[in-house]
């Protein structure tokens, strides 16, 4: 069964620029190298390339925003802790 492999490969396509570039250069070879069955290889060869790129960019911007949010939370948390303990930054 190829379903878990397909999901893993799709996740890599959305999150890893190098994997995505290799795939876009030769979709069938990249999908076969990922161990997908011929049905999945054929389906991926017909993937909406523009949609793939747009989704990948969207996911990346969400990850960046999440990291920024964590950093803000960490700064706020540290500041709160410093105020409670009387430490100054």
Which tens digits make up the pLDDT trace of 31-54?
999 999 999 999 999 999 999 999
Domain ranges of the chain: 3-85
Band (pLDDT 50/70/90 cuts) for residue 63 is confident
Using CA atoms, how far residue 40 sits from 47, 51, 60, in Å, is 11, 18, 25
Band (pLDDT 50/70/90 cuts) for residue 1 is very low
**Rounded to an integer, what distance in angstroms lies between the CA atom of residue 42 and that of residue 32?**
10
Higher pLDDT, 15 or 85: 15
**Rounded to an integer, what distance in angstroms lies between the CA atom of residue 62 and that of residue 60?**
5
**What pLDDT is attached to residue 65?**
82
User: Is-above-0.75 flag for pTM?
Assistant: no
């Amino acid at each position: 069964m190829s379903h878990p492999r397909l999901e893993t490969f799709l996740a890599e396509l959305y999150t890893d620029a190098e994997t995505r570039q290799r795939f876009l250069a030769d979709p069938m070879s990249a999908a076969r190298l990922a161990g997908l069955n011929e049905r999945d290889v054929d389906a991926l060869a017909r993937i909406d390339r523009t949609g793939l790129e747009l989704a990948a960019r969207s996911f990346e911007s969400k990850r960046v925003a999440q990291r920024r949010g964590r950093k803000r939370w960490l700064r706020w948390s540290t500041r709160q802790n410093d105020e409670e303990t009387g430490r100054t930054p």
